[in-house]
Each structure stands twice: as C-alpha cells, then as structure tokens.
Amino acid sequence: MKQEIVDLPDWLQGKFIVLVGLMGAGKTKLGRIIASSFELPFIDADAEIEAAAGCSVQEIFDRFGEDYFRDGERRVIQRILSEQPAVLATGGGAYMNEETQQEISAHGVAVWLRADLDLLVRRTERRSGRPLLNKGNGREILADLMDKRYPVYAKADFVVDVSDEPAPQTAQRIMTNLIEHQPIEENAS
Ligand code: S3P
C-alpha cells in the first residue's frame, strides 16, 4: 500500500527509529510502513543477519546455537547503526543486550511495541521459522519471555500499545508520538 509521506520531525533527523518488542508484535510490518511514510530506508535486523550468515535464523540456531546467533545479532546491529539512518526492526531478543541498548541510544530512539499475550500467540501461530517457539508450548514460552523481557523493553524511549487495529493506524499512532515527541503512550486501548 502506498503510504502518505510525512515530514520527519527535526529532532529525529539523522537518527534511527528502532522498533523493539516480542515476536508477533509487528515490528517488521509497522517498520516498513513508518519507513515509507518518513521516506527513510527500512532494515530488518534478522534479514541482515541471515544475509551475513548465508542461512536462515532457524538454521543458525540449529547449527551453531543461540549464543552464536546472539553474538552475530549484536555485531550486525552495531554495524547497521554505524551506517545511514533508517527504520530498524530488531529481533525480539536484541534489546536484551545492554551493549545493543547503548548503541541504539547513541544513534537513535527505541520504540517498544507492547502487545498482550493473546495477540502475540494468535500472530505467532500463523508463522513458523521462530526457533524459540519450536521448543514447546508457544503460549507458555511467550508468557515467560514477557516476564523476562518487558521490564527491559520498558527502558525504550517510546512505548506504543499494539492491538488488532489495521497496521497503518498503529503506524500512524507511532508516528504521531514521535512527531509530538511524546515518549509514553498513556492508554493501553
Ligand atoms: C527472537 C526473535 C526473532 C529472531 C529469533 C529470536 C527472540 O525475531 O530474532 O528467532 O529472541 O525473540 P522476531 O522478533 O522478528 O520474530
């Protein structure tokens, strides 16, 4: 869908807009819309990791393990953040790394896409290729990740609640928050 072009606010010139949040929160989909609206490039960190490794995230986990993936993830994000500003969708675990958090703060703003468990379960059921969810019950795994990660994601500069509303509307809310420079969205629904 062709998005209406929106002026990037002055305070965001030269900065990355980095989307963080759990699997299924919509980081890639919303990131693409925001990027095309602000006329910025869009980068998906997982896709960059796959390109660098020459295989899928699933294969990296299977062949080399999670620690190896995390190390590659940290390095790839560091490299991306040293290049031209863009809208960057990170994988769900990336923001858990303190060095990555610092790099993001140095080069841009982090936007946490906060979603409730039911939404994440519904969305992740539809797609495979997420190694962490292949290990057992998706709902239990996501609930556990929420407990561990939401307190860390809460360090992000902006928090936007995502729901079942159409993605262009959520993207618009995110951009409005950025334009108005309102770091925290008060209302969850
Ligand atoms: C992960 C999320 C995935 C991918 C990898 C690990 C995580 O990305 O990076 O499977 O630890 O939450 P998405 O959040 O884009 O699905």
Q: Across all residues in the chain, what is the average pLDDT?
A: 94
What is the model's pLDDT at position 135?
87
CA 127 to chain CA centroid, nearest Å: 17
**131 C-alpha vs ligand 1 centroid, how far in Å?**
8
For ligand 1, atom 12, which residue shows the shortest CA distance? 92
Ligand 1 pocket test: which of 46, 88, 144 has the largest number of ligand atoms within 8 Å of its C-beta? 46
pLDDT at 169 over 70: yes
CA distance 110 to 97: 13
For residue range 27-44, list pLDDT tens digits in order: 999 999 999 999 999 999
pLDDT band at residue 184, thresholds of 50, 70 and 90?
A: low
Q: Which ligand 1 atom is nearest residue 49's CA?
A: 9
For ligand 1, atom 15, which residue shows the shortest CA distance? 91
**10 C-alpha vs ligand 1 centroid, how far in Å?**
31
pLDDT band at residue 182, thresholds of 50, 70 and 90?
A: low
pLDDT at 183 over 80: no
Residue 12 in 3-state DSSP? helix
pTM summary value? 0.94
- 80 vs 126: which has the higher pLDDT: 80
Per-domain residue ranges of the chain: 20-175
Report the interhelical angle of 117-125 vs 138-153 (nearest 10°). Answer: 130
CA distance 60 to 48: 13
For ligand 1, atom 8, which residue shows the shortest CA distance? 91
For residue range 64-110, list pLDDT tens digits in order: 999 999 999 999 999 999 999 999 999 999 999 999 999 999 999 99
For residue range 138-149, list pLDDT tens digits in order: 999 999 999 999
pLDDT band at residue 1, thresholds of 50, 70 and 90?
A: low
Nearest to 172 by CA among 34, 39, 41: 34
Report the CATH superfamily, name and number, of domain 20-175.
P-loop containing nucleotide triphosphate hydrolases (3.40.50.300)
**Which residues does ligand 1 sit against, CB inside 6 Å?**
23, 27, 46, 57, 91-93, 130-132
Q: Which ligand 1 atom is nearest residue 44's CA?
A: 15
What percentage of the chain carries pLDDT values higher than 70? 94
